[in-house]
């Protein structure tokens, strides 16, 4: 079971200690991307050239990304697409977060991926994980475009290319 949530940092919000952000005070710092009412209210105040936010990813009870790892979220998702594309070509890949020294590593292990992010290393089912993440990337970029927060046609093309790569490999 997995959970993927995307947040944008509230305009003019200063995060002094990201480790102290949790589910109880999250609304003080972030807006969930699927919160349509709040997004409509704040979209004009967001800097589309510098979209800060957080990707929260939990997989089978393991937290892979959390709120303390906030960064330039649109760039992070673009980097994650590059991570998957290189992984499908070479069987392993790694990236750094856009604005933080946080490394994401993936390495093939039969039909699973050994996924490492900071102190968390887990194995995830290869195709299920990639498909879930690619589907979420698709929704993420389309939602940003809906709110006119940038043009992400290249990223959406890359999502389709990764889907094609998965099918090509018979998965």
Express each pLDDT in 55-64 by its tens digit: 999 999 999 9
**Mean pLDDT across 101-106:** 97
Give residue 169's pLDDT band: very low, low, confident or very high (50, 70, 90): low
Asked whether the predicted pLDDT for residue 171 surpasses 80, the reply is: no
Asked whether the predicted pLDDT for residue 168 surpasses 80, the reply is: no
91 CB contacts (<8 Å, ≥6 apart)? 107, 108
- pLDDT at site 25: 85
Give residue 19's pLDDT band: very low, low, confident or very high (50, 70, 90): confident
Asked whether the predicted pLDDT for residue 24 surpasses 90, the reply is: no
Give residue 96's pLDDT band: very low, low, confident or very high (50, 70, 90): very high
User: Which stretches of the chain are DSSP H helices?
Assistant: 36-42, 73-90, 126-146, 153-168
Spell out the long-range contacts of 82-87 with Cβ–Cβ below 8 A and sequence spacing 24 or more.
Answer: 82/158, 84/130, 84/133, 84/134, 84/162, 85/158, 85/161, 85/162, 85/165, 87/113, 87/130
- pLDDT at site 15: 87
Asked whether the predicted pLDDT for residue 12 surpasses 90, the reply is: no
């Amino acid at each position: 079971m997995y959970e993927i949530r995307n947040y944008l940092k509230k305009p003019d919000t200063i995060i002094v200690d990201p480790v102290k952000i949790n589910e109880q005070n999250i609304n003080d710092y972030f807006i969930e991307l699927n919160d349509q009412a709040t997004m409509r209210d704040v979209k004009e105040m967001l800097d589309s050239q510098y979209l800060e936010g957080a990707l929260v990813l939990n997989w089978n009870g393991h937290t892979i990304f959390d709120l303390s790892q906030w960064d330039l979220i649109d760039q992070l998702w673009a980097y994650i697409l590059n991570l998957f594309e290189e992984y499908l070509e070479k069987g392993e890949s790694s990236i750094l977060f856009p604005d933080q020294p946080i490394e994401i590593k993936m390495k093939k292990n039969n039909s699973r991926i050994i996924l490492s992010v900071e102190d968390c290393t887990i194995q995830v089912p290869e195709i299920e994980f990639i498909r879930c993440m690619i589907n979420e990337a698709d929704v993420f970029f389309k939602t940003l475009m809906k709110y006119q927060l940038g043009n992400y046609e290249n990223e959406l093309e890359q999502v389709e290319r990764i889907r094609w790569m998965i099918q090509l490999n018979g998965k």
